[in-house]
Structure 1
Amino acid sequence: MNLLSILGGNAFVMFNKELAHEVSVNGAIIFGQLCSSYESFGSKNMLSTYKGENYFYLTSETIQEETALSYKQQVKAIKDLETAGYIKTVIMGSPARKYFHITNKIMEQFTEISSDKREELNEEDNQETIDVGTTGDNFRIDQREEQACIKGQSKPSPFVQAYKDINKKEQDKKINYNFNCNFKKPFTPEKFKVLLTNACNEFYTTFSVGRYSKKQWNTLIVKFVNDTIESERYINVPEQKIKGYAYKCLERIIDHNEYKNSEEFADYQEVMRGLNRNDSKSVANPLLYNWLE
């Protein structure tokens, strides 16, 4: 009869003897359940972040169902773990729930084991494996560890590896990743002013011949560039389209100026002056006859 497989099954809780000696037996049981829940929540991306630390919540009912510890026993064990520095708790959310954070102290405890102690433990494990094999029993130590796992889960990860994962997540949070590959820093007004001025001057011969002197052209360009920057229109002009933007704007400006100096515009001004004279004399203008009267 395989007793370990019978005792394991779905009722297995990780238990650390050294932690039980330091804190309490109930504290070690609670801590084992918290570690198991941390891995479960982490694998499902359900950890919450509070002040830069990973938290997860467990209700007292869930802890009692998993460990058989009453609410009163849980309160004492959790307080012992907090006092010893192995966990932190905080009340958050709506409805309010108790969230747990596992500190790095357990990892520090494991890393403090000397190399001589590790070698001694390895020798004991190897000797135990040899003794079991000589008895003719094929039930090896590693097989027992697998059977002690909760059904549907893999072999429990060491505390050290679990906390390495936590530290890596914390380090990644401090790195400011920019995943927007199309992001480009906007132009400064000074840089855009230089680029737009150079683009306009490339069309000097196209628009200025027979119209403006060099001084007049420079005055026009300075006013156009400054107006573009002051109105913040430059923000929406990408660098590769500055030249096209300059050409179309100059074309509209030249057309507008030529119309103002044309005979058609002079005739228009003459008509408008006549209308203003008639209005000033309070004489009904036949061009503005009111057909509704």
Structure 2
Amino acid sequence: MSGIIKRRKTSDYAQIHNGALQQLEDIRSIGLISHLMSLPESWVISKMQLYSKFGRGPITNAIKELEAKKYWVTIQYRNGKKTLYYYNVSDVAFDDSEVLNMIEEVNQGGHKITSISESFTHLVSIGGNQQLKREDNSSVGSCVVDSEQLMVNNSLSTVENRHLLNKYRKTNKEKQNKDKETLLINKELTPTEFQTCLTDSCNDFYTEFAPTRWNKQQWNTLIESFVNETISEGRYIKVPADKIQGYAYQSLKNIAYKFDLKNGRIERKIPFYNWLENDTDEEIPY
């Protein structure tokens, strides 16, 4: 007779809230949160480590649902020239107050938050305006902060206040996006940062180039070799941050072409040359 067998456990087991297991719809999300809940609280979450163990596609899709249902929070912030990520995951959905504490923790470190999981984007402006209120006592800044607080704390705020606040948020968002684009174009990456960006960019094209050529293990070895070669030969210096994606694609296209050529999948195209009728000493092109 088939059924669910539950055994009594006194050690080496994880407790997971039923809400997460029953509300999540993607089996990859359920698998990821189950895995993470089995780890100690001191464990530092690394996407690259998860990609290496379970594959980029499954992890990306799992995190997407976990973020949408507030079980996962990603905070991206700047530390000098470095872009860093702060991840938190729980088997009980996060509420706004918990995420505000996370934002405050990053702000107290003197870092600038550049983005956060979509479910909590409204909190970044709140945290940012609270910081603005402490640092800027100008009448304009005070007016914006007061409007923000009115929107959050007063359920009877007027339609006019709502429109005013939405207009400010839209303008602020557009400015942030423009600043991020400028930062990306002008940013000078360290070899380690470049290595991570190039590896991620190459893996984005896995489904286009790998099938029928390389299995997952061969692909990882290929990418690691290609990225290390780019770093060791200093070619990365000539590739700006906003061009890494294009560089990765063109390089993989060339690698795939050489692979297909070597394995007889395609024929090398040699231009026609009628050497019998040519009485010059020109070299025959290959």
Task: Please confirm whether the aligned pair reaches a TM-score higher than 0.5, indicating the same fold.
Answer: no
TM-score, normalised to structure 2, is 0.28
Q: Which of structures 1 and 2 has the larger relative contact order (alpha carbons within 8 angstroms, sep 6+)?
A: 1
Which is higher, the Rg of structure 1 or of structure 2?
1
